[in-house]
Structure 1
């Protein structure tokens, strides 16, 4: 006679921690992205965040996203979970944009050759201002708000 009784049938600790962490992250991202700036005149863009900052500000509103040394000069880095791309067009100048292409909302996947690149239909955007460098997108990537404080970059 065998029994297959488990000592605990509830959710495992990792499941609970992951679920709670995901809820907290969603709440934090919602709080950070609530003020959108639609001044770009875009027709089908949806931005998770508002206007950008390339320095200054209070720096106390978000967790550190990256270190300035993590963002290459003339390039950038995509933060998929946070929905942003951070670029450094020239030494010491940092910009941030939505990671969703304004053409069909595909996430961008690379930053190369001075552009932020979408794999879905080949749109390319400037690392300096998010403007369209190659269509089919017709609207620039919406700016995201960041703060640079010392060597720390945070979502504002």
Structure 2
């Protein structure tokens, strides 16, 4: 007699090996790629941030007095971070991390931070302080009028 099984039943060993391969593939797919987030032709995010809305010139973000010196505020709905590196110097950036398009989560200790993969950016110019982000945050032109921060 032969040791080969001729029935149509799958052996436990083959079943477990197949399940392991499928599980490993799913895990790798969930990790995603390290490719940078897709951007439009001008470098701006291709679409507004999740839960946010597109903003145009003149859109009021908030009061200049609410932006701490050496810190900043994230305007989640508008997808903009406004920082004040030194007194009276206001700078605007996209609130979307350049690594995998996660929204940045906080401004602290002179850094804009993304909690998805822990990238950190300078509040002065948006440059990368700590990777994995491949490039600086996109700049957003802002202006201060009558004590209000507005999109320029």
TM-score, length of structure 1 as denominator length: 0.62
CA distance in 2, matches of 1:106, 1:152: 27
Check whether the contact 2:38–2:45 (CA below 8 A) recurs between aligned residues. Answer: no
> What per-residue deviation string (whole Å, max 9, x for no partner) do you get for residues 19-56 of structure 1?
xxxxxxxxxxxxxxxxxxxxxxxx6463249xxxxxxx
User: 1:136: which partner in 2?
Assistant: 132
User: 2:80: which partner in 1?
Assistant: 84
Check whether the contact 1:48–1:144 (CA below 8 A) recurs between aligned residues. Answer: no
Query: 1:66: how far off?
Result: 1.0
Which protein has greater RCO, CA pairs closer than 8 Å, 6+ apart?
Answer: 1
CA distance in 2, matches of 1:63, 1:121: 30
User: 2:97: which partner in 1?
Assistant: 101
Label 1:111 to 1:63 Cα distance change in 2 as closer, same or farther (>3 A). same
CA RMSD of aligned residues (A): 1.6
Check whether the contact 1:45–1:139 (CA below 8 A) recurs between aligned residues. Answer: no
Check whether the contact 1:74–1:114 (CA below 8 A) recurs between aligned residues. Answer: yes
> What per-residue deviation string (whole Å, max 9, x for no partner) do you get for residues 83-135 of structure 1?
10000000000000000000000000100010000000000000000000000
Count of equivalent residues: 103
Larger Rg: 2
TM-score, length of structure 2 as denominator length: 0.64
Q: Which runs of 5+ in 1 are unaligned?
A: 1-42, 50-60
User: 2:151: which partner in 1?
Assistant: 155
CA distance in 2, matches of 1:92, 1:45: 33
Check whether the contact 1:45–1:103 (CA below 8 A) recurs between aligned residues. Answer: no
Q: Deviation above 4 Å: which 4+ runs of structure 1?
A: none
